[in-house]
Amino acid sequence: MAQVAIKKPYHVDLADLMRTYETNYAKLNALLPNQPSVGEVRCYQAAYLTYQVQVVEVTKYTTLVDICQSDDVPVFPLPTMSVRLYHDARVAEVTSCEHLKRVDARYDYPNDKMLQQDEKVQLNRFLGDWLSFCLKLGISRTPLNI
């Protein structure tokens, strides 16, 4: 008699996600000005690709930035994403992305948008990889008007 594999439900690894948030906070702070103000833009060129980080909102405990790729014809387009930095907790999290107005901790699968169960984790890891890329290979440029 064949055994039926029982699939375990997906659970968010909170400790791992918090580590990702903490490292993203440190990396993003290295790319932002010391005292960011609304409307301030930092532009980076890395490997022939140009990226912009724009400060959208600054409050006492948080800063919201939008990150986008500003190339005319991107070969590997970076999704436009909003990232909130929580200064009291020293973490940064992707709060929305080009295709998601709000990023949930987990999604049922399958779903109408075909999002992965761990979409939030993947987006925040992607942000970390992108920030490392800019820190390692990036050159600060004059902001572009996009």
**Which tens digits make up the pLDDT trace of 29-51?**
999 988 889 999 888 887 777 88
Report field, pTM of the whole predicted structure over 0.85: no
Place of tokens 């390692």: 136
β partners of residue 106: none
Q: Would you list the DSSP string of 13-62? A: -HHHHHHHHHHHHHHHHHHS-SS--TT-EEEEEETTEEEEEEEEEE-SSE
How do the domains of the chain map onto residue ranges? 14-30+37-141
**pLDDT of 62-80, one tens digit each?**
999 999 887 665 566 667 8
CB atoms under 10 Å from CB of 11, counted, come to 10
